[in-house]
Amino acid sequence: MLEIKNTSQEYIGHHLYHLQLNLNTFLWMDTENTSSFWVLNVDSIFFATLLAILFLLIVGRVAKMATCGVPTKIQMFIELIILFVDSNVKDIFHGKNKLIAPLSMTIFVWVCLMNAMDLFPIDLLPYVAQLTLGLPFLRVVPSADINITSSIALNVFILIVYYNIYTNGIRGCIKGLICHPFNHPVWIPVNLILETISLLSKPVSLSLRLFGNMYSGELIFILISGLLPWWGQWALSLPWAIFHIVIIILQAFIFMVLTVIYLSTAHDPC
């Protein structure tokens, strides 16, 4: 248990702080008059990057050792994930784009791995970091950080706009914003407002849905650990962790499916 557990309030509050790097100091800005925009959540960036690297190393290793005969268990597991993602992409996306399937695979596995960090005991990694490196704060679930989910959603949004312009051209893209849903010049201002809101709501819905679900799941683990005695923690943490596995996979799947749907819509002619 962390040393900061003097009261339940301090314990819970401590687990909600990120290990941060204030860039205002490096940019020589007035820290008293600047917002937190220039502050990086180092722990979220570290674990998100670490999980991506581990995934690439493991998959790359399995790909090199793959055989046409009897596959290993890990090879079968990865092939099942690939087939699962590929079948869903074929059912949703009806165009031709070689990027969609790899992108969907990356999003599903990466988000799933980030979500799965919630299954570690809430005090384990922060305690190790405090004991070995003297770090005062550490949050280990990258998808419970709105900055991480927003950055992924923003990249998807950029692809949506790119493929919309690629398919319809700039003129067709603008036409789609001002001529739908009411195809009359009088309704152009209304169409522009409605379509702009619809377009901007896509990255917002992607980021907030994932963040909200994972943040609430992490908070429940913190509350269980901070408010209950040890025997109560075991009694509630285990069933919640088992149920949380479903949430971890489901949220990654929803993020992937919505990404494919949005990109499929972007490929439709206006």
The count of C-alpha atoms lying within 13 angstroms of the C-alpha of 8, restricted to the half-sphere facing its C-beta, is 8
Structural domains in the chain (count): 1
**What angle do helix axes 188-227 and 230-266 make, rounded to 10 degrees?**
160
Residue 27 resides in a domain: no
> Cβ of 225: how many Cβ atoms within 10 Å?
23
Measured CA to CA, the distance from residue 164 to residue 161 in angstroms comes to 5
Q: Are 211 and 149 a contacting pair, CB within 8 Å? A: yes
pLDDT in the model for residue 30: 45
208: in domain: yes
- Residue 21 domain flag: no
Which residues have C-beta within 8 Å of that of residue 142, sequence separation ≥ 6? 44, 45, 47, 48, 51, 114, 117, 148
Q: What is the pLDDT of residues 34-69, one digit of tens each?
A: 456 678 899 999 999 999 999 999 998 888 887 777
The one-letter amino acid at 121: P
| Pairwise CA distance, residues 182 & 190, whole Å | 9
Question: Is 28 inside a domain boundary?
Answer: no
CB 27 within 8 A of CB 81: no
pLDDT at 6: 60
By annotation, the residues acting in catalysis are: 205, 209, 213
Give Cβ neighbours of residue 78 (< 8 Å, ≥ 6 apart). 59, 62
**Helical H segments across 117-229, by residue range:** 124-132, 146-178, 188-227
Decide if 224 is inside a domain: yes
Alpha-carbon dihedral angle through residues 117, 46, 111, 140, given to the nearest 10 degrees: 20
Residue 255 within any structural domain of the chain: yes
- Which comes out higher in pLDDT, residue 23 or 101? 101
Is residue 155 within 8 Å of residue 259, measured between CB atoms? no
pTM of structure: 0.88
Domain limits for position 183? 43-266
- pLDDT per position as a tens digit, 151-207: 999 999 999 999 999 988 888 888 888 877 787 788 888 888 998 999 999 999 999
Give the tens place of pLDDT for each residue, 103-141. 999 999 999 999 999 999 888 999 899 899 888 889 999
Q: Tell me if 8 is assigned to some domain.
A: no
Residue at 49 is within a domain: yes
